[in-house]
Amino acid sequence: MNNENNASNLRCPECGKQYNDMLPSFCYACGTQLRFTAQRSAGVPQTPDDRATPTSVKPRGRRRLVIALAVTLLAIALVAGGVVAGILLTRGSKGTAVLPTSAEGLRESVKQCERYLNESGKTLAAGRAQGGTIYSIKARLDTVGNNISGEETFLFKNRSDATLNEIVLRVYANDSDATGGKGSAVITDPLVSASKTTTNLNGSLLSVKLPRGLAPGAETVVSLSFSEQVPEVQGGLSGLSDLMGSGQPTGGYGIFGHDKNTYDLGYFMPIVARYTNGVWENRPVPQWGDPADYECAYFTVSLDVPEGFTVAAPGIQTQDSDGAGRHVYAFAAGPVRDFTAQASASYASVKRTVGDTTVTSYYLKDSSGGGAKTLGFAVNALKQYNEHFGAYPYTRFNVCEAPLGGGAAGMEYAGQVQIAQMLYSLGSKTQSPNSLKDLNGDNLSDLLNTLGGGLLGDTLEFTVAHEVCHQWWGLVVGSDSIDHAWQDESLANYCSVLYFKWQHGEKAAKTQLETEITLPFSAASLMGGGDDAPVDQPSAAFKNETQYTAIIYSKGALFFQALQQKMGAAAFDKSLGQYYDKYAFLNATPDNLVQAFESNSADAPAVAALHERWIKETHAAEDITSTVPGTDLLNNLLKQVPGGENLDLGPLQDLLKQYLNNGSSPQNNSSPLPTSEPNLTI
C-alpha cells in the first residue's frame, strides 16, 4: 500500500482519533476540520478519495456507508437548522478553536476583536483602524522541542495608491540579532486567494508574492504555515554580568525565548510590515532598541499548550478548554499594534480593576510578593496616566513576570508587558546579608535584597511605570521606534519620573530623575559609551548599546524636563493629552509631537529651539548639569539598611571594575551605575 495511506495519515492532528480508511470533513471527536474543498490545510494529508482507488473492496464499501451516513446527517441538519448548528458550534469550541479563514469570516471577527475596547477606547478608535489587516492564527507550543508552529490567515487591504506585487511581513523569530543567533523560522504552504504562491524569507523579512498584483483599495486573503524555534534565554538573577548587561544570553534579550517552563512569545507570528511612501518597511532589526513599527490590526489567536500551562495574552478570552493532555486558550484583540503571549506552568495571578479595565499580574509562584507589588504599581500607573494623558482604551491590561536576559528590564506590547524576573526578587525577599564580603563570584541576589528598600527597590516600580506608559506612547499612539526611538522611549522615561511626582511627591521624583536618568548618562563614558550624539537618529546609528541607552533614555528624557520647565506643567500635560486624542490608533511623526507642544506654548519658537538643541544637536556637556552624588548616594542608601554602616564595599568595587572594563552596558537603563570617581561604587 502507498505510504500516504498508512494509519498515521488517518488520524486527527488535534485529538489523535484514528479513522479506518478515510478522513471525514470534520473530526467526530473534537470538531477539527480535516478536509477542505477549496484548499487543504498544511499538514493535513489527502484522503483516499483524492488518490488512486485501493484494490481492497472492503474499504470501498465502508466509504459508501460513510457517504450515505453523511447524506442522512445533512438532511437532518437541514431540518433541524439552527439547533444542529448550535450543537456543532458548541462542540467545536469545547475541543478546538474554530477560527475564521474566509474573507467574510475575517471581516465578521472584527466585531469580536473590538469587544476588547472599553467605552473610551470605542470613542478614540472610531473610524481610525478601517482597512487594518485582520489576522486569524492557530498556534501550538511544543515544550519538548521548544518550538511554536501554526497556521495563519489574514485579510489584507491595499490602502496605498499603488498596485502591490508583494506583501512584506516581519518574522521576528528568524532574525539572528533578535534571538541571539539561536532562532529560526520556516514558512510553508503560502496561498494568496486560495492559489499557490512563492515566498522569500531573508532574516526577519518575509516577502509573499502577489501573482496578479493588488490594486489600490482591493483585498486579498493570504494564508501560510510557520514553525519557529524558541531559543533559550538566561533569565532571573544570574548575577552581576546579567544585571549590567555584560553577559551573553543565548536568546537575545529573551522577549522571544524560554527559561525552564516559562515562554516569552513576543512577536511570535508573522506580522505585516508598514507600507509608506511607496516602499515596504524593510530595515534590519536593530541590535539594541525596539524592533516594532506596525499599523493597528485585528487578531484572533488560539494557542494550544501542554496541560498545566497558563497563557497570558491581550484581548478578550474566547476559549479556555482542555483535553488529551493539552489546553487551548483563544483570544480576540483589536485594534492593536501587535500581539504577544506568555506561557508558563508556574504562573499564578492576581487582579484588580481600574475604571472599566481589569489589570492582571501574572507572576511565578515563588514571586508572590513581587507579583502583588507589581500589580499595585501597574494599577497606580494606569490611574495616573488616565488622569493626565487620557483614558487607556482597553478592557484588560496584563503585566507578566518574564525570564528576560542581557540586562533587559521590560518590554511593551499592546495590552500586555513583560517585566524581568530579575526585578521581582526586589519585592519578594527581605533578608539582608551582614557583609558584602560574603558575595561569592558574581551572585548579586543577596545584594539586591539588601538594597531592595532603597534605590534598587524603586527600579521595579520605575520599570513598571515606564512599560505601562508605552501603552500611550508607542502603542496606542504609534511611532517609528527603529528610526525615532526617542519619540516613545525618551517620552515614556520622563513620564515615569512624572508618575513618581504624581504618586509620591516632588522629592521622590527628584530622586528618580537623578538615579534613573542623570546618573546613567554621567556614567556612560566610563562604560564605553563614547561621546554625545544627536537623539533623533536611527537606533543602528549609535556606536553601541551604552551610547544608545545614555542618549535615548537619559538625554532625550531631559529634553522633556527642559520643555516642561519652559512651558509649565499644565501646558505640558495639555499638549500630551491633545497629542494622544489626535493620534490614538494612528502613527505619529516626531514633528507631530513637537507641534503638539508648540500649539500649547506661549512661546512656540522657544519650543522649536529646545527641540533643535536637545534632540538634533550635541550640547550635552553644557546642558546637562550632573547631580551625581557619588559615594553619598550609596551611603544614604545604606542608612536605610539595618547594619548598613558596617557593610564592606571592597569586593563589590572589584567586581564592578572587572565587569565595566569590557565596555558592555545594560538594556535596562535603570541598572545601578558607577560614578566618575576612580574607585567605582554604585
For residue 38, what pLDDT is reported? Answer: 35
Question: CA nearest 220: which of 211, 228, 229?
Answer: 211
For residue 270, what pLDDT is reported? Answer: 98
For residue 23, what pLDDT is reported? Answer: 58
Question: CA nearest 654: which of 618, 619, 681?
Answer: 681
For residue 408, what pLDDT is reported? Answer: 84
Q: Which residue has the cell 477560527?
A: 99
Tell me whether strands 396-402 and 410-413 are parallel, antiparallel or unpaired.
unpaired
User: Residue 321: what are its φ and ψ, rounded to 5°?
Assistant: -140, 160
Domain locations along the chain:
3-95
For residue 310, what pLDDT is reported? Answer: 98
User: Residue 248: what are its φ and ψ, rounded to 5°?
Assistant: -125, 80
Q: Lay out the sheet containing 164-170: strands in order across.
A: 199-202, 205-214, 164-170, 271-272
For residue 292, what pLDDT is reported? Answer: 84
Q: What is the DSSP letter of 286?
A: P
Name the grid cell of 342: 506568555
Q: Are 187 and 206 in contact (CB under 8 A)?
A: yes
Q: Looking at this protein, which amino acid is placed at residue 338?
A: D
Straight-line distance from the first to the last Cα atom of the chain, in angstroms, rounded to the nearest whole number: 73
User: Residue 468: what are its φ and ψ, rounded to 5°?
Assistant: -65, -40
CB half-sphere exposure, 539, CA atoms < 13 A:
24
For residue 648, what pLDDT is reported? Answer: 52
Q: Looking at this protein, which amino acid is placed at residue 48?
A: P
Which H/E stretch holds residue 553? none
User: Residue 306: what are its φ and ψ, rounded to 5°?
Assistant: -60, 150
For 291-315, the pLDDT digits (tens) are: 889 999 999 999 999 999 999 999 9
- In whole angstroms, how far apart are CA 18 and each of 9, 57, 59, 290, 547? 9, 20, 15, 46, 59
For residue 527, what pLDDT is reported? Answer: 67
Q: Are 533 and 542 in contact (CB under 8 A)?
A: yes
What is the rounded radius of gyration, in angstroms, for the C-alpha atoms of the chain? Answer: 27
- In whole angstroms, how far apart are CA 671 and each of 242, 418, 459, 586? 10, 17, 8, 33
One-character DSSP codes across 173-198: GG-TTTTTT--EEEEEEEEETTEE--
Which stretches of the chain drop beneath a pLDDT of 50? 1-5, 7, 25-26, 28-31, 35-95, 236-251, 429-455, 626-638, 641, 649-682
103 C-beta neighbours (distance < 10 Å), count: 15
Judge if pTM exceeds 0.85: no
For 37-80, the pLDDT digits (tens) are: 333 333 333 333 333 333 333 333 333 343 334 434 443 333 33
Q: Rounded distance, CA 157 to CA 130, Å?
A: 10
User: Residue 202: what are its φ and ψ, rounded to 5°?
Assistant: -130, 105
For residue 420, what pLDDT is reported? Answer: 93
For residue 449, what pLDDT is reported? Answer: 41
Which H/E stretch holds residue 575? helix 569-583
Q: How many residues does the chain have?
A: 682
